[in-house]
Structure 1
């Protein structure tokens, strides 16, 4: 059994060919798709966060709205770039959104991927400390956020407050109990997957990671997940962790599917995401259901994960994206034992 959800980047463009032409469209359609996915029996609705881009960027108002419109489905991010975040203010936002959703948030965090602008986090008021990289700054922000989510007071109360305080040191409010265990780390390397395990975070692994061995993407990703599980066990955490992978999966069920995605088999691709980092990007899957099942059966990383996030083409509209999700749930998942 696997939990199956969707992941939307929330692209929008003012083009006649797009079904998502404005930021308003992207936000409102994301809410509608979460409702539709819940009705179809999907388990999760996740959004990507990109700054300075015509994509979804401010996750907590959106997650709160999705939470108010749904009742069962998990609501999450994959991922929030922690280089841009004030950990204490984020704890307040996350606590509020989680309480509105009844404890259904699954927050994916990370250092972030290459962005639209140079050092965009500087425009948000953040800079690495002396001798610190921007990646280390993102992990430092994450460690502060995780500590705050424990719910322990640390701020000395004013002896003459506007309103009466509870006894003891104070914490950011609202606090949502249990959210700390529903934090994930989006890892692009084996080393950061091990770090996430030591921190007691769940693991998100997408379709892009450092090319560390030259092997096919799914093989490298499976090894990353195994390294994470080994580090989790060594750390001695009591609970069972969760691991998600994301994939583009399109059952070719009708002429629309064949027109959009019937281009033949894709392959992994390799390139450099900056001057130093050689990365591998995993292939997408598009085929008739029986062929698709056989291809996915050979994906080692999906077999290792308990959660699968389907990256959806959001600019094709809510109805079509729901059709893609339903196609996987009905025509692929049962044959693979995921349902």
Structure 2
């Protein structure tokens, strides 16, 4: 575990790849250019946050396959793939192929999905079998077992019932291709103490975000609640040396921004805060949501670094992923990413990767 008061040793960024539905190609291309920029700036990981049935990245495997051929060094992560919408065997084939094409740079993150959207996505993906589908975490464990070389169900059965091992129609007993070590890089996206402990007890890495379980840290606010989640994960790990925590927060340095950009940054942060407040109120009159969201941090890098270094959740993370606001234009996102690498990172004690 990182030492108290220390900063994460790795610095990355996260994007949802938002696009205009009238011209989605431009938005997807802009997301790929951000990955290329992050690679050139020496950032450690580019994380894509996929979702289904939204104006944003829905096919992270296709996007990262393209990115892997344009950015040659940076790690490539998903934060996170909603596993209930996936077939474990097909996903294992896709991710193993992608990992091999990228030279072992893939950092897959998976989760059950947003509780408010799981049922709707289930009905969309499995319109006639949704109620019979394998639960998300069981599906995730089966996926990992396939990545590790576990036998494919039915692989011992010959399609024509013969015993001919040279039969061209015979299927291999394991997923192909295989990518050694990929299964050990799987991370689970958790937002509650229970799911974080599950991730730890099953030996996954942890993805944590700017949303966590309210009050889990004793009522002292988001940072304490998120630190409690990370501690629950680490406490549950059978092998503490295998722990790895990536924490994604919206942090917007303003060092190189124009006055117009700074105004947009702050207006976007205010709009996000207003949406979060409305979401709380939707729970009912006087009700308080069971989840709490971290406020966006906007300002000069020296001020942001001081706040982050004092944050107990950041102190417990191995990697900080700067979540880029989806409501800003591409030029602003490139400016933010540059300021992250050139100003915020050094203020945190981070150094860019060179190879």
Shorter-chain-normalised TM-score: which range? 0.7 to 0.9
Q: Report 1:220-259 matches (<5 A).
A: 220-232=225-237, 235=238, 237=239, 239-253=241-255, 254=257, 255-259=259-263
Q: Report 1:139-218 matches (<5 A).
A: 139-154=137-152, 155-156=155-156, 158=158, 159-160=163-164, 162-163=167-168, 170-213=173-216, 214-218=219-223
Match of 2:28 in 1: 27
Aligned residues: 323
**CA–CA separation in structure 2 for the residues paired with 1:219 and 1:150:** 36
Deviation of 1:128 after TM superposition, in Å, equals 4.1
Contact persistence 2:248–2:321 (CA under 8 A): yes
**CA–CA separation in structure 2 for the residues paired with 1:196 and 1:304:** 16
The CA deviation string for residues 47-71 of structure 1, in whole angstroms up to 9 with x for no partner, is 1111111111111111111111122
Deviation of 1:306 after TM superposition, in Å, equals 0.8
Match of 1:73 in 2: 74
Deviation of 1:231 after TM superposition, in Å, equals 0.9
**CA–CA separation in structure 1 for the residues paired with 2:60 and 2:116:** 17
Contact persistence 1:272–1:279 (CA under 8 A): no
The CA deviation string for residues 79-114 of structure 1, in whole angstroms up to 9 with x for no partner, is 111111111111011111111111111011111114
Q: 1:62 is paired with a residue of what secondary structure?
A: helix
Contact persistence 1:51–1:115 (CA under 8 A): no
Match of 1:55 in 2: 56
What are structure 1's unaligned runs of at least 5 residues?
15-20
Q: Structure 1 pair 241/165, CA: closer, same or farther in 2 (3 Å)?
A: farther
Normalised by the length of structure 2, the TM-score is 0.82
- Tell me: higher relative CO, structure 1 or 2? Use CA pairs within 8 A at least 6 residues apart: 2
Contact persistence 1:60–1:93 (CA under 8 A): yes
What are structure 2's unaligned runs of at least 5 residues?
1-7
Contact persistence 1:32–1:318 (CA under 8 A): no
**CA–CA separation in structure 1 for the residues paired with 2:269 and 2:60:** 34
Deviation of 1:215 after TM superposition, in Å, equals 2.7
Deviation of 1:195 after TM superposition, in Å, equals 0.5
- Of stretches 94-103 and 136-145 in structure 1, the one that deviates more from structure 2 is 136-145
Contact persistence 1:250–1:257 (CA under 8 A): no
Match of 1:261 in 2: 265
Deviation of 1:44 after TM superposition, in Å, equals 0.8
Contact persistence 2:265–2:328 (CA under 8 A): no
Contact persistence 2:227–2:312 (CA under 8 A): yes
Contact persistence 1:264–1:286 (CA under 8 A): no
Normalised by the length of structure 1, the TM-score is 0.86
- The counterpart of 1:284, out of the listed 283, 296, 302, is 296
Q: Structure 1 pair 176/310, CA: closer, same or farther in 2 (3 Å)?
A: same
